[in-house]
Structure 1
Amino acid sequence: HRSQVNLDQKISVTEDGVKKSFGFAKHLHDSLPNATFVGFTGTPIDATMDVFGEIIDAYTMTESVKDNITVRIVYEGRAAKVLLDNQKLQEIEDYYANVVEEGANEYQVEESKRQMTQMSTILGDPDRIKAVADDFVTHYESRIAEGSTVKGKALFVCSSRDIAFRLHQEIIELRPEWAEIKTHEEGVELTEREQREIKPIERVKMIMTRNKDDEKEMYDALATKEERKELDRQFKNEKSNFKIAIVVDMWLTGFDVPFLDTMYIDKPLQKHSLIQTISRVNRKYEHKNKGLVVDYFGIKRQMNLALSQYSNIDGQNVEEIQQSVVVVKDHLDLLRAIFHKFDDALYFKGSPVEQLNTLNKAAEYVQVTQELEKRFMHLVKSLKAAYDICVGSDQITREEKDRIHFYLAVRSIVFKLTKGEAPDTAQMNERVREMIKEAIESEGVEEIFKLGDDEQNEVDIFDEDYLAKIDKIKLPNTKIKLLQKLLSKAIDDFKQVNKIKGIDFSNKMQKLVTKYNERKESDVLRSEVLEDFTDEIIELYHELRKERESFQEMGIDFEEKAFYDILKALAHKYDFEYPEDKLIHLAQKVKDVVDDKAKYTDWSKRSDIKAELKVDLIILLAENDYPPVDRDEVYKEIFEQAENFKKGR
């Protein structure tokens, strides 16, 4: 702790004379002369090791990434893009070199007026600030457009308050709409609680203290201490319109926003301050693969030095953006090899309808075998992760970006067909989304994108017209996947009503899918094999439909039918006969017993009610001469069915 590094005597000269004093550390050490002092710190400074000695054990950033606690940091250098005079790069290097030669620490650097004045002249050059603002807006918007940032949050670190203010002005001049006060972006839905918590705010804000000497425009643009607390809360809300924070010293340490994945640095930083700053983007969050540090100043060498100070391994922990560029290009080559027999020309040159049909055919192409589909999906997933990092790089050409969008769109279609829960265009580029939207509005487009959206359209998947639409799809593998998805959903829904029969249909479905996936290589492209499999799925589809309505013929309701199936399955399992009419009557009685206990909202969690239910079921089974099979098993099946049904209501 820093309170332990002030061992030296301090001398202060006042009108009253010379005053000598020691810090707390000196008194503590004198009081405990035989004590062993052990220091625990996240980022030790030189003085820490002077007091406590060499590092005994370190938990490195590399280990943290391996333990899945943090994500890797990727470095992207863009200083050369905003320094209009290349000689300025050398001046920055000289600045850092002087700091090292003089043995200065971070605090002395900030006190050095001569050096900082020199840096402020370089960093505060009006043309340079314009260039930084322009490059930042382009880079940030590219990441947003490509879906490369999880929530669109970014931190921009400036070297001074004045430069931060001027940068803010330049950004707003480029994007006036970012100064508009909104609660959230268009298309974002808020819960009632979020509507109360999220305040109207601009997209980009400065997080700095106010000074009474600030010019009026700057003073008015800054927040009070209480207002900054609210800004803190808003930035930490993923749905808030507040996306970009421009800072100087605030929010660089102890400020955790897990979904913050992009930091822009235009400030001389070194040692532990640099480590603490870049660590703002390495927090773990869903769908966040890496954190990106964009450097406008030239901190790369200092970053490597700072990391290696704590661990030789960590010196290599920050990944260069070039590595992501290489991954993207390598994966594009691998994907081109997969599609070398596929004609994708109409996607790049055709009308929206032709483009969409090409995407559908491409999705069909990669679904020919399960092995090919898995390989394609894995390659595109890895491609997207790397592209999210290097999307702003000039090394990725326009042609390569278009091809990336093509593969991502194909993956999204296949993902929809196989997983079902993802929005159709969630992973697609904005331009591709518009193309698909336009194509879907046209007539004559195969309805792959429209089918399966039950929640929005409330479509009855057992409706004959609905099946007829699916039957019109001319792509056999796509049709099979869509039927498979719809049937799987129907079975899952049926499990909510009748667990035991639902499981039975799941097993039948799995056998069909396994048979399809393990078909002989010679049968992969045979149309009659694909047609047979399609017919088998539709047959199982109709069988499920018939089962769903079977309770009506028996004169009982669907929940009573579920208990009937449990009792019948157990009779079959233990090989005993039980009259059909008595079985129906017993199922109705079981439902009465369950309903009596389930009238309490917390019935499934209360042990007393569950015990009563078990006793009542045992008595009921005995009274109706149901053979003495394992009563615990009967109770377990009936309880799970009842709980499942009530939960699904």
Structure 2
Amino acid sequence: MSAIFLLDFETKDRLQNGRGNTLLVAGTIYQACKYYELFQNRGFKKCAIVTSYDGSLQSIKGETTDTDEYTEKLRQYEIYQKMLNGKTPEAFEEEVKNKFVKEPAQMKLLIVVNKLLTGFDAPSATYLYIDQSMRDHGLFQAICRVNRLDDDDKEYGYIIDYKDLFKSLEKSVQDYTAEAFEDYDRGDVDGLLSDRLEKGVERLETARESIKALCEPVEPPKDTLAYIRYFCGSNTEDLDLVKEHEQKRVSLYKLTASLVRAYANLANDMLEAGYSSAEIETIKQEVKYYEQIRAEVKLASGDAIDLKAYEPAMRHLIDIYIGAEESEVLSTFDDMTLIELIVDRGKDAVNTLPKGIRQNPEAVAETIENNLRKVIIDQRPTNPKYFGTMSELLDELIQERKTAAQEYEDYLNKIVTLSRQVTQPATSTQYPQSLNSPAKRALYDNLDQNEALALAIDNEIRQFTMLMNRFLPNWRFYKDELNRSPLEN
């Protein structure tokens, strides 16, 4: 069982990526200690025992110390003392429970007997391994430990029953649920358990149908450019078009994530779930296809920056169950945005784009334009005059491209130059040497390039800020609060 358990930690997604963890219910304290010892010996260190055992000398009073006649109690005592490492059982339990709840990647498994099976709330708990005869209230409470909501990648908890408590080989889920909880009203336990494969197939098929319905209106030939225009808009000169299509993109991102998770949960058991080999390959290619569309649209719209924090878990699933090739391409954008890459590498940055985009010049152009437009809009409040000019230059460049007034290579060279102007104003425009900060340059640009006035206002603002910091240290906090709370008339 321990070997199977460790394999699950290498193959089950939430256990492998550290976002979820596990409870193992042992039959006795000694059995819990033996499990712990087995895991430790196999190098699995992020686990602990939580039981009612106090690990005191009193617990082995009267037991033999003959090395040839170790009793269970003595061995149990030794394992516990090694685990506690000088801490009291109470302090140790509190520490590992906190880690289990708040840092699941650092405490992946708690081995229990009776403790923590009631009232212990750990949303990260995803798998419950039962190696103890249980029924009715105790079984009901144990199952409830893994049904707490957590992140989106936890659709439900999993029960691994090593005692055949539900007689799953003999009866349907509905029947064995009724028998295991025969002392409960039917209404209290209906739906508590579902067959994993049956539920997995249902979720996968629903996810497939949903994303196909969302993408059905995309114009033929349904290539990368068609998807970009459907989800981002077809006119990169329109400032509001990408924003207007935002809800469609959000639906695409959510439905693709649901599809990837549903596939990952079933990927290793698809034959057992009733799919043929041909169907399995078809579904895998579908998941790969829609994940590629999601990645391309996310990059083309400029949403990649806003969604960066959500990517690691998704990329983990893609690498394992779909293939790492496209994931490796997208990892280029982990530390740098597309525009930063263009500034850094020039037109060679185009080679870092996903294959579907980089093979289509129009898709490349619209992707860069959407991303550059996003940077301009985000930065405009800091210097309306300068970034207004940048927006006009971008419009002119888009018009030149659309009228085929220049070669693709010339366009790329110009878009690289404009990207550098947008991201590096200080080096792109000749400012007087005295304007040595973004704030001074912004004042200068928006005061008809009056250097003296810009410097005077900047000095007044700095003096005011110094006084406020001196006499009202928390003034910035109050300012933010006022900005968040509209005044009533």
Q: Is 1:450 matched up with 2:332?
A: yes
SS at match of 1:380: helix
SS at match of 1:281: coil
Aligned match for 1:260, one of 122, 125, 142:
125
1:323 maps to 199
Distance 2:439 2:470 in 1: 18
Q: Taking structure 1 as reference, are residues 251 and 237 closer, same or farther at Cα in structure 2, changes over 3 Å only?
A: same
Query: Which ranges in structure 2 are unaligned for 5 or more consecutive residues?
Result: 61-70, 167-172, 217-221, 233-247, 353-357, 484-489
Distance 1:285 1:479 in 2: 38
Aligned match for 2:258, one of 382, 400, 407:
382
Q: Taking structure 1 as reference, are residues 160 and 255 closer, same or farther at Cα in structure 2, changes over 3 Å only?
A: same
Q: Counterparts of 1:227-376 in structure 2 under 5 Å? A: 227-238=92-103, 241-296=106-161, 297-299=164-166, 309=184, 312=187, 315-316=190-191, 318-321=193-196, 322-332=198-208, 366-367=227-228, 369-370=230-231
Distance 2:141 2:295 in 1: 41
Q: Is 1:206 matched up with 2:71?
A: no
Given that 1:494 and 1:548 are in contact with CA atoms closer than 8 Å, whether structure 2 keeps it comes out as no
SS at match of 2:148: coil
Distance 2:369 2:103 in 1: 35
CA positional deviation for 1:592: 0.5
CA positional deviation for 1:549: 4.8
- Give TM-score scaled by structure 1 length: 0.48
Distance 2:255 2:362 in 1: 20
Q: Is 1:594 matched up with 2:442?
A: no
CA positional deviation for 1:251: 1.6
Distance 1:367 1:537 in 2: 19
Distance 2:48 2:153 in 1: 24
Q: Name the Cα RMSD after superposition.
A: 5.4
* Higher relative contact order (Cα pairs below 8 Å, separated by 6+ residues): 1
Q: Taking structure 1 as reference, are residues 336 and 408 closer, same or farther at Cα in structure 2, changes over 3 Å only?
A: closer
Distance 1:408 1:494 in 2: 32
Q: Is 1:436 matched up with 2:325?
A: yes
Q: Is 1:466 matched up with 2:369?
A: no
SS at match of 2:128: strand
1:112 maps to none
Point out the more displaced range, 584-593 or 412-421: 412-421
SS at match of 2:49: strand
Given that 2:342 and 2:416 are in contact with CA atoms closer than 8 Å, whether structure 1 keeps it comes out as no
Given that 2:341 and 2:349 are in contact with CA atoms closer than 8 Å, whether structure 1 keeps it comes out as no
Distance 1:307 1:482 in 2: 60
Given that 1:147 and 1:388 are in contact with CA atoms closer than 8 Å, whether structure 2 keeps it comes out as no
Superposed CA offset, 1:420-459 (max 9, x none):
243577344444798439x96xxxxxx665357338x996
2:12 maps to 143
1:158 maps to 26
Superposed CA offset, 1:371-417 (max 9, x none):
89777544322213434554564427684585476357526733455
CA positional deviation for 1:171: 5.5
1:221 maps to 79
CA positional deviation for 1:326: 2.1
Q: Taking structure 1 as reference, are residues 542 and 293 closer, same or farther at Cα in structure 2, changes over 3 Å only?
A: closer
CA positional deviation for 1:243: 0.8
Point out the more displaced range, 537-546 or 323-332: 537-546
Superposed CA offset, 1:251-309 (max 9, x none):
21232223222222333444443343223223343334433131313346675686995
2:304 maps to 420
Distance 2:212 2:187 in 1: 39
Q: Taking structure 1 as reference, are residues 239 and 506 closer, same or farther at Cα in structure 2, changes over 3 Å only?
A: farther
Q: Taking structure 1 as reference, are residues 248 and 319 closer, same or farther at Cα in structure 2, changes over 3 Å only?
A: same
Given that 2:284 and 2:322 are in contact with CA atoms closer than 8 Å, whether structure 1 keeps it comes out as no
Superposed CA offset, 1:522-551 (max 9, x none):
x9xx999x979x879768646636855576
Distance 2:201 2:425 in 1: 54
- Give TM-score scaled by structure 2 length: 0.61
2:360 maps to 475
SS at match of 2:157: strand
Superposed CA offset, 1:165-202 (max 9, x none):
455566667xx131xxxxxxxxxxxxxxxxxxxxxxx1
Q: Taking structure 1 as reference, are residues 603 and 548 closer, same or farther at Cα in structure 2, changes over 3 Å only?
A: farther
Query: Which ranges in structure 1 are unaligned for 5 or more consecutive residues?
Result: 1-129, 179-201, 341-360, 441-446, 516-522, 569-579, 612-635, 641-649
The count of residues paired between Structure 1 and Structure 2 equals 403
2:376 maps to 491
Q: Taking structure 1 as reference, are residues 435 and 380 closer, same or farther at Cα in structure 2, changes over 3 Å only?
A: closer
In structure 2, give the amino acid aligned to 1:274.
Answer: L
Q: Counterparts of 1:436-585 in structure 2 under 5 Å? A: 436=325, 449-450=331-332, 453-454=335-336, 461-463=342-344, 465-470=345-350, 473-476=358-361, 479-480=364-365, 482-484=367-369, 486-487=371-372, 490-491=375-376, 494=379, 498-501=382-385, 504=388, 541=419, 544=422, 549=427, 552-553=430-431, 556-557=435-436, 558-565=438-445, 568=447, 580=448, 583-585=450-452
- Structure of larger gyration radius: 1
Distance 1:539 1:307 in 2: 74
In structure 2, give the amino acid aligned to 1:592.
Answer: N
Distance 2:360 2:101 in 1: 46
